[in-house]
């Protein structure tokens, strides 16, 4: 259990450990340059920026949409993950067929400024609470703040140790980082958006959305269920409280002796979280 990524990589290069996980792109070259190996997985996991929709100033949908429009997702992917990730689209469930029903959101700084002005927030300021929640979390927060600043939006980053963040801050402040691994839309929505969800990060509370969600759960016909899911995703895309710039790559570094680590889509470390059962060491 290392405090940061630098300590992980140093331990690997010193031969103190043989396998480290949840790395970011800048660690790839040092590991490979020291005779180690790296396995990179295109995952469907992500580190979202959560805006609480019942708390000012994020209770105004124009503010939420404006912040989403500030993100240059391709640039974000390049700067944080060396282009190894996949562009996100601010909603759950990229592995679900209905995900493709919403258009890919693109950066539109002028539209963002217009929305903030209409919301009375032309000089918008916010504090983003950050921690090492997942791969690229802290560097991603810095890139987001930089992109926002180019549009005149001031985002102050409050970086906290993981214990403080998860114990005292997570879901208790209006704007914060989180982390989600792979899941279908309805499964992830049940965990984060639906009534009684264990992780209600965005404080979503829309009766019409809830009714449609419950209808989807009751629906046996797959085509009809996907149709309902499309409507739910459209609501999230237009009204929701997440900014999901990129689905992060899962990057794992190891010594040349380690065998059996393969790419997986889950975002869980080391073969999809299956532990060491498929891994062995050569002599």
Query: Residue 191: what pLDDT?
Result: 98
Direct distance between the N- and C-terminal alpha carbons of the chain, in angstroms, rounded to an integer = 26
Range of lowest pLDDT (2-6, 28-32, 81-85, 202-206): 2-6
Query: What pTM did the predictor assign?
Result: 0.90
Q: Which residue has the higher pLDDT, 191 or 42?
A: 191
Those residues with Cβ within 8 angstroms of residue 149's Cβ, 6 or more apart along the chain or in another chain: 155
Q: Report the relative pairing of strands 258-259 and 280-281 from DSSP bridges.
A: antiparallel
Nearest to 193 by CA among 60, 88, 92, 87: 92
Determine the Cα angle at 94 with ends 29 and 148, to 5°: 65
Asked if 5 and 24 touch (Cβ cutoff 8 Å), the reply is yes
If one counts every other C-beta atom within 10 angstroms of the C-beta of residue 99, the result is: 18
C-alpha 264 chain-centroid distance: 17
Sort 265 into a burial class: Cβ within 10 Å, 0-12 / 13-18 / 19+: middle
Tens digits of per-residue pLDDT, 231-246? 999 999 999 999 999 9
Q: How far is CA 115 from the centre of its chain?
A: 24
* Token couple for 89: 């689209």
pLDDT digits (tens, 9 = 90+) for 44-90: 999 999 999 999 999 999 999 999 999 999 999 999 999 999 999 99
């Amino acid at each position: 259990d290392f405090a940061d990524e630098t300590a992980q990589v140093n331990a690997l290069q010193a031969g103190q450990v043989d396998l480290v996980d949840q790395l970011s792109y800048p660690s790839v070259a040092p590991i490979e340059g020291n005779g180690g190996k790296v396995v990179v997985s295109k995952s469907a996991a992500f580190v979202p920026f959560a805006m609480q929709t019942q708390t000012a100033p994020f209770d105004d949908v124009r503010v939420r949409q404006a912040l989403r429009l500030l993100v240059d997702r391709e640039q974000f992917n390049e700067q944080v993950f060396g282009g190894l990730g996949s562009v996100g689209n601010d909603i759950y469930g990229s592995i679900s067929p209905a995900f493709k029903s919403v258009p890919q959101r693109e950066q539109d700084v002028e539209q963002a400024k217009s929305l903030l002005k209409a919301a009375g927030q032309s000089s918008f300021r916010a504090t983003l609470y950050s921690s090492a929640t997942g791969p690229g979390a802290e560097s991603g927060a810095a890139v987001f703040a930089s992109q926002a600043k180019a549009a005149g939006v001031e985002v102050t980053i409050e970086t906290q140790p993981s214990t403080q963040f998860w114990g005292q801050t997570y879901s208790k402040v209006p704007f914060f980082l989180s982390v989600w691994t792979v899941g279908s839309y309805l499964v992830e929505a049940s965990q984060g958006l639906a009534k009684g969800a264990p992780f209600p990060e965005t404080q979503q509370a829309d009766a019409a959305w809830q009714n449609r969600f419950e209808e989807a759960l009751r629906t046996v016909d797959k085509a009809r269920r996907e149709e309902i899911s499309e409507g739910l995703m459209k609501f999230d895309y237009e009204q929701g409280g997440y900014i999901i710039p990129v689905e992060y790559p899962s990057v794992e570094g190891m010594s040349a002796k380690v065998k059996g680590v393969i790419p997986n889509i889950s975002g869980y470390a080391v073969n999809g979280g299956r532990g060491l059962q498929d891994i062995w060491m050569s002599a």
